[in-house]
Chain A
Amino acid sequence: MSATTLAPRLHGIRHRRITVLLALLAAVVVAVVLSVTIGSKPVPLGDAWHALTAPTGTENDLVIRSLRLPRTVLGVLAGIALGVAGALMQGHTRNPLADPGLLGVTQGAAFAMVSSIILLGVSNLLVYIWFGLAGALVASVAVFALGMAGGRGGPTPVTLALAGTAVSALLAALTSAVVLLDEQAMDVFRFWQAGSISARGADVVWQVAPFILAGLVLAMVNAPGLNALSLGEDVARSLGQNIMWTRTIGVAAVTLLSGAAVAACGSLAFIGLIVPHLARPLSGPDHRWLLPYSGLIGAGLLLLADVIGRVVAPPGELEVGVVLALMGAPFFVALVRRRKPVRL
C-alpha cells in the first residue's frame, strides 16, 4: 500500500469532521434565531432583524435589544463554556462522572457569593458575580494543589477528582449552613441554584465574556497535549509532552470557563456533564474536535432548553436548569441506551 492512496482517506476523515462542525454551527444559529424570536411576546423574524440592524425604538426593538439579545448571547457563551469545560474535565480526570464543577468551581462560587451577601451586605448582581469568580478561582487552585499530592510530575486523575469532590462537599455544606442563617442570602442562593440566563442584561455579558474567551483560547491550546495524555502518561512523556504543564493549562481553562459561566448563570454544571457524552460519538477521541463539538452542542442545548422553558408553562417561565435536567436527561439516557457509550 503506497503513501499516495492513503492521503485521500485521511482527508476524507477530516472532511467528515468539518461537515459535522458546520452542521452543529448551523444548529446553534437556528437556536439563536428561536431564542431571539420566541418568548412570552413573540417577535416576527423581520422585526427581530430590524431591531438588530436599525433599531428605531419600537416596542419590539426594546424587547430584542435589552432582553432577548443579552439573554441569547449569555446562553451561547455559557453553553460553549460549560460544554468545553466538561470535555476538558472528563479528559483530564478520565472520569465520565466529572463535570465542570468538579474542581470546586461551582461550590466555590456559591460560597463566595452567599458569604459576600452576609458578611459585606453586597446586593448588586454585578458585584457578587465578581465574588463568584474569585471564589471559583480560589477553590480550583486549592483542589489543584491537593491533587498535586497524588503524583510525580502533576496531579493524577483520581486524586484530582477526589480532591475536587471533597472540597466541593465541604463548601456546599458551609454554604447551606450560611444560607440557613440569612434569609436574603437564601433567596439569592435559591435563584442561583436553579440556574438561569434570564434578566442578566448586557453588562453581565460584558463582565464574563473576557474570561470565557480567554478560557476558550487556553482550552484549544490544551487540546493536543490532552490527546497525548490520553495515551497514558508514559507515552505522553515520550512524545515530548510536559504533563505538569498540560494539567495546569487544563485546570486554568476549566476554572475560567466554568467559573465565569457559573457565576453569571448559576449552577448549570449538569450540561457540562452530559454534553461531552453526546459529542464523543461524533468526534471520536480527538480533543481538537471534541472540544469545539462539545462547545457548540452545549450552546445549542442551553438555548433550546431556555426557549422551551419560556413557552412550556405560561404565563411564567421554567428555569433553564430545570428544563435541561427534565428534558436533557431523558434524551441523554435514551442515547446512552441506544448506542454503546464511548469510554474515555
Chain B
Amino acid sequence: MRLQAAAVKLGYGDNVIVDGLDLGIEAGTVTTIIGPNGCGKSTLLRALGRLLKPQGGEVLLDGKRIDRIPTREVAKILGVLPQAPVAPEGLTVADLVGRGRHPHQTWYRQWSSDDEGAVAAALAMTGLADLAERPLDELSGGQRQRAWISMALAQGTDLLLLDEPTTFLDLAHQVEVLELVRHLHQEAGRTVVMVLHDLNLAARYADRLVAMRAGRVIASGTPHEVLTEELLREVFELDAKVIPDPVAGTPLVVPIGRPHHAHSAASASEIS
C-alpha cells in the first residue's frame, strides 16, 4: 500500500466535509475518484497530497505518517497538481516546468544536468518542446494544462495526484492527457490518483474506481465492479444504462435522465 487514508476527518474550519474515511492506494495502479460535485473528492485528494491537514485520522505514505516526513522528502516521492492552478504573468513554459525541479534543488545547486534532462524529457513527453519559450498566458487552455502536467512530471515522483487534469480540454486533448497518464503508468510504473468527471474516460483509463458521495466512499474496485446502474442511481441520482464500451470493453454509461424528470421540468416552467 503506497498511500493510505485511515479514518481521516477533513474539512475547513467548522465545515467538515469528510469524516472517518478509509482508502488505500496500491502501488503501480491508476485510481480514479468519481462522485458528484461537492462530494469531497478534491478535499480527499488534497489530504492525500498533504496540502490539507486532516482534523482527525492520518494519511500514510509508504506506511509512515505523511506529516512526519519532511515536506521536501515527500515532494520527491509524491507530486500533486491542484485544480486550476495560476501562474504569474509572463512565466514561460520552460520556466514553469523547471519549477517542478524545486524539491531537487538547493541554494548551491540550482540547475544541474539532471534538472535539465528532466525538464526536457517532461516537455517532450507532453509534446510541448516547441512551445518551451512561449509565455504561459499566450497558450490555449489545453496547452496550458499540459504545461502544468509537465511541471508535475519534471518533479520526477513515482506517485502522482491529479485533480481534474482534463478540465478546459476538448475531447481529443482529454484523451491525449489520459493516454499520457496510462503511458506513465505502463512504461514508468508510476502510481496515479486522479479526480475525473467523465465517467466513461474514468472507466477506460483507471485500474480502480472509487465512488464517493457526501464525504463517504460508496464503492471501490475495478470499473466493472463499480460502474453499475444501481451505483449510478445511488451516487449520482442518475438513471443510466451501462453497456460495454465497443472499443475497450470497459463499462460505458449512457444516461437516461434524472429520476422525476417530468416533475422537475414542470416546476421549471412554473418558475419562468
- Chain B residues numbered 244-268 whose CB sits less than 8 Å from any CB in chain A: none
Chain B contacts of A13 at CB under 8 A?
A: 92, 94, 133
Q: Report whether B75 and A239 are in contact in the complex, using a CB–CB cutoff of 8 Å.
A: yes
Q: Does B81 contact A (CB under 8 A)?
A: yes
- In this assembly, does A221 line the interface, its C-beta being within 8 Å of a C-beta of chain B? yes
Q: Which of A233-278 contact B (CB under 8 A)?
A: 234-235, 237-242
Q: Which of A152, A231, A240 makes the CB contact (< 8 A) with B74?
A: A240
- Contact string against A for B residues 57-101, beta-carbon threshold 8 Å, 1 for contact and 0 otherwise: 000000000000011111110111110011111111011100110
Q: Is B269 located at the chain interface by the 8 A CB criterion?
A: no
Q: How far is the CB of A256 from chain B (nearest CB, A)?
A: 17
Of the candidates B70, B90, B100, B119, the one whose C-beta lies within 8 Å of that of A239 is: B100
Please give me the residue from chain A that is nearest to B128 by CB atom: A1
In angstroms, Cα B9 to Cα A269, docked, is 47
Q: Give the segment of A4-12, A138-146, A184-192, A294-302 that binds chain B.
A: A4-12
A3 within 8 A of B: yes
Number of chain B interface residues as a range? 35 or more
B155–A239 touching, CB < 8 Å? yes
On whether the beta carbons of B71 and A234 are closer than 8 Å, the reply is no
B105 touching A240, Cβ below 8 Å: no
| Residue contact A1 to B129, C-beta cutoff 8 Å | yes
Residue from the set B50, B82, B88, B96 with the largest chain A CB neighbour count within 10 Å: B88
Name the residue of chain A whose CB is nearest to the CB of B121: A3
Task: Contact check, A237 vs B71: say whether CB atoms are below 8 A apart.
Answer: yes
Which listed residue, A224, A231, A288, touches B87 by the CB 8 Å rule? A231
Q: Tell me the bound Cα distance from A211 to B89 in angstroms.
A: 32
A237-B51, A242-B71 known; A285-B80 Cβ under 8 A: no
Check: A326 CB closer than 8 A to any chain B CB.
no
A284 within 8 A of B: yes
Among A152, A234, A241, which residue has its beta carbon within 8 angstroms of that of B102? A241
User: Which residues of chain A from 1 to 37 have any CB-CB distance to chain B below 8 Å in the complex?
Assistant: 1-7, 9-10, 13
Q: Which residues of B contact A314 (CB under 8 A)?
A: none
A344 with B82: in contact, given A6-B120, A6-B132 (CB under 8 Å)? no
Contact indicator B103/A240 (Cβ below 8 Å): yes
Distance in angstroms between the alpha carbons of A344 and B89 in the assembled complex: 6
Q: Does A230 reach chain B (CB closer than 8 Å)?
A: yes
User: Is A48 interfacial (CB 8 A cutoff)?
Assistant: no
Interface residue? A193 (CB, 8 A) = no
* B88: chain A residues within 8 A (beta carbon): 230-231, 285, 343-344
Complex: chain A residue closest to B136, CB-CB? A285
Cα of A247 to Cα of B91 in the assembled complex, Å? 22
In Å, the complex CA distance between A1 and B127 comes to: 7
For B70, the chain A residues whose CB sits under 8 A away are 240
A232 touching B86 in the complex, CB below 8 Å, given contacts A240-B71, A240-B103 = yes
Say whether B71 contacts A10, CB under 8 Å: no
Does B15 sit within 8 A of A, measured CB to CB? no
A343-B89 contact in complex given A6-B129, A220-B107, C-beta closer than 8 Å: yes
A224 touches which of B50, B86, B110 (Cβ 8 Å): B110
- In the bound complex, residues from chain A placing their C-beta under 8 Å from that of B130 are 1
Residues of B within 8 A of A220 (CB): 107
Any A CB within 8 A of the CB of B221: no
- The answer to whether residues A10 and B90 also contact, given A1-B124, A239-B75, A239-B103 and a CB cut-off of 8 A, is no
Q: How far is the CB of A224 from chain B (nearest CB, A)?
A: 6
Question: Once the chains bind, are A224 and B116 in contact (CB under 8 Å)?
Answer: no
B119: chain A residues at CB < 8 Å are 6, 10
Query: Which residues of chain B come closer than 8 Å to A286, judged between CB atoms?
Result: 95
Least Cβ distance of B144 to chain A in Å? 13
Using a CB–CB cutoff of 8 Å, the interface residues on chain A facing chain B are 1-7, 9-10, 13, 152, 220-221, 224, 227-228, 230-232, 234-235, 237-242, 280, 284-286, 288, 342-344
10 sample A-B contacts, Cβ–Cβ < 8 Å, listed by A number = A1-B127, A4-B120, A9-B94, A232-B82, A238-B75, A239-B100, A240-B71, A240-B103, A342-B89, A344-B89
Q: 11 more A-B contacts (CB under 8 A) besides A1-B127, A239-B99?
A: A1-B129, A13-B133, A221-B107, A231-B85, A234-B80, A238-B79, A238-B81, A240-B76, A280-B90, A285-B89, A285-B91
